Structure formats: structure tokens, C-alpha cells
Amino acid sequence: MYEKEFLVMDTMTAKVMGSGDLPVLATPSLIAAVEETCRDFMKQRLSQEQTSVGVSISCQHLHPTGIGQSFVVKIIEKKFEKRKSEYIFEVADKRTKIAEGTHIRVIVNRQRFMKNLEN
């Protein structure tokens, strides 16, 4: 298991992100925190020329979290095969579980990946 703690800032709210109109943790911000946690975990197996990119996420956002509250993303790597890593995640604040789901990341070569933007 690997975990990372985050603090809900004004910029992370549904109102600011445009995904809602309340000053609570936005689902897009929660997903970004999950991706960041998985990315940081994957760094241990990457060379300088590599990075990882998210290719799939399934998330149930179960409970609101307000500005100034902290939350922890906990991940378990369910499977790693070749370049693909699959995770199960759970997110909780001090009161309750606020989200759960799965996430898949793939290892890519930085230069080749960026070259795909050409044309």
C-alpha cells in the first residue's frame, strides 16, 4: 500500500473547477490526486526517459469534503504487467471514506509520447 495526503484548497473546489457550484472538493480534483499518488508510486520503476500516463479511471465520489480539510489517497497495486499498472484506491478524510475506485497507468517513453502530438 502507498498513500499520500492532500489539503483541499480553494482552487480544488467544484465551484472553481466548474463541475458544480458548491465550495467542496471537486471530483476532477479528487481524480487528479489519485493520479498523482499512483504516478508518484510508479516513479520507482521508471528510467529518466520514461513517465507514466493515466489511461483509465473509475471513481465513485461518495462524500463531500470542505475547503481546509485534508484527505488521504491510499492505493494498492493490483497488477503490474509489462508497462501497465492497475490500482485499487480509497480516499478518506478524517470523518469517512469519500471515494473509491480503480485506476490504470501505462509507462511510456517521454520523447515518443510527445512526438505523437506532431502532425
100 is catalytic: no
- Of the residues 13, 61, 65, 103, which is catalytic? 61
- Of the residues 27, 63, 77, 100, which is catalytic? 27
Alpha-carbon gap, residue 72 to 119, rounded angstroms = 40
- Of the residues 35, 37, 51, 103, which is catalytic? 35
Residue 112 annotated as part of some ligand binding site: no
Residue 54 annotated as part of some ligand binding site: yes
**DSSP secondary-structure letter at 47?**
-
The values of phi and psi at residue 115, to 5°, are: -65, -25
Contact 103, 53 (CB under 8 A): no
96 is catalytic: no
61 is catalytic: yes
Following CA atoms 44, 52, 6, 1 in sequence, which dihedral angle do they give, to the nearest 10 degrees?
-50
- Joined together, the cell numbers standing for residue 109 give 517513453
Annotated binding site: 54, 105
Catalytic residue numbers? 27, 35, 61
* Binding-site annotation: residue ranges for CoA: 54
Binding-site residue numbers for substrate are 54, 105
